[in-house]
Amino acid sequence: MLEVRRLMWCAVAAPVFAAGLWAGIGTAGGQASAAAEAVRLTAGLDARQEVPSPKGAIANARGSFVAMLERKGDAGTLTWRLTFRELSGKATAAHVHLGKRGRAGPVSLALCGPCRSGAHGSVKTRAGTVQALLTGSAYVNVHTARNPPGEIRGQIRAGSTVPPPATTTSTTTTASTGDDPYP
């Protein structure tokens, strides 16, 4: 129930952030202040950002990653949602990797596997991952059988800092998926 309330809070808060109605924007350089309780993260995924370049005709493959990072000291909890379309086949996995734009890096967080568009969940994060998420040094990658290193990728950007929801709780890694786009 608490996870549902948190996801509903994220769904309601997203349009407010987009409209720029929240004060408390991150500090210079895109980094959130140490006092921030939560930070909105986003990434637009496509094949052009993937390293190495994926195989096949996947010019229309796209995706979107939206998350809320609730910071607790140096670590935190990442509540996320991933959507994608027009991949070469079923998504075998999706991860958050550490790495700057144009460079491949190691997996930091497993999101789902196999994945369906609309997958969402929550995962605990360590200090190094939190720092990478806040400074643009992390990306989301969706893998397929045709492109095991990754088919679409998007660099994660930190957005607004926001006040925490009224109730918070520790959560464990979970994932839930919607309808399979490849029946």
Q: What is the mean pLDDT of residues 67-73?
A: 94
Name 2's Cβ contacts closer than 8 Å, sequence gap at least 6: 167, 169, 171
Q: By residue range, what is the domain housing residue 105?
A: 2-18+41-176
pLDDT at 32: 43
Which has the higher per-residue pLDDT, 10 or 89?
A: 89
130 lies in some domain: yes
- As a whole number, mean pLDDT of residues 72-100 equals 97
Q: Please report whether residue 27 resides in a domain.
A: no
The yes-or-no verdict on residue 23 having pLDDT over 60 is: no
Residue 33 forms part of a structural domain? no
CB 65 within 8 A of CB 117: no
Q: Would you say residue 124 lies in a domain?
A: yes
**In the predicted model, is pLDDT for residue 172 greater than 50?**
no
The answer to whether residue 168 sits within a structural domain is yes
Q: Residue 105: what pLDDT? A: 97
What's the rounded mean pLDDT across residues 144-172?
A: 78
In a domain, 34, yes or no: no
- Asked if residue 129 is part of any domain, the answer here is yes
Give a yes or no: residue 47 inside a domain.
yes
pLDDT of residue 71: 93
pLDDT given at position 9: 44
Q: Which of 75, 113, 108 is nearest to 94 (CA)?
A: 113
Residue-averaged pLDDT of the chain = 79
Q: What is the pLDDT of residue 160?
A: 76
- State yes or no: pLDDT of 126 exceeds 90: yes
Going by C-beta distance under 8 Å and a sequence separation of 6 or more, which residues neighbour residue 135? 29, 30, 31, 158
- 158: helix, coil or strand? strand
- In 3D space, the residue among 49, 59, 54, 44 whose CA is nearest the CA of residue 144 turns out to be 54
Tokens representing 122 are 């929550």
pTM for this one?
0.70
Q: Which residues contact 44 (CB under 8 A, 6 or more apart)?
A: 62, 63, 64, 154
The answer to whether the peptide bond before residue 163 is cis (omega within 30 degrees of 0) is no
What does the pLDDT read at residue 37? 77
Read off the pLDDT of each residue in 85-105 and give the average, rounded to a whole number. Answer: 97
Total domains present in the chain: 1
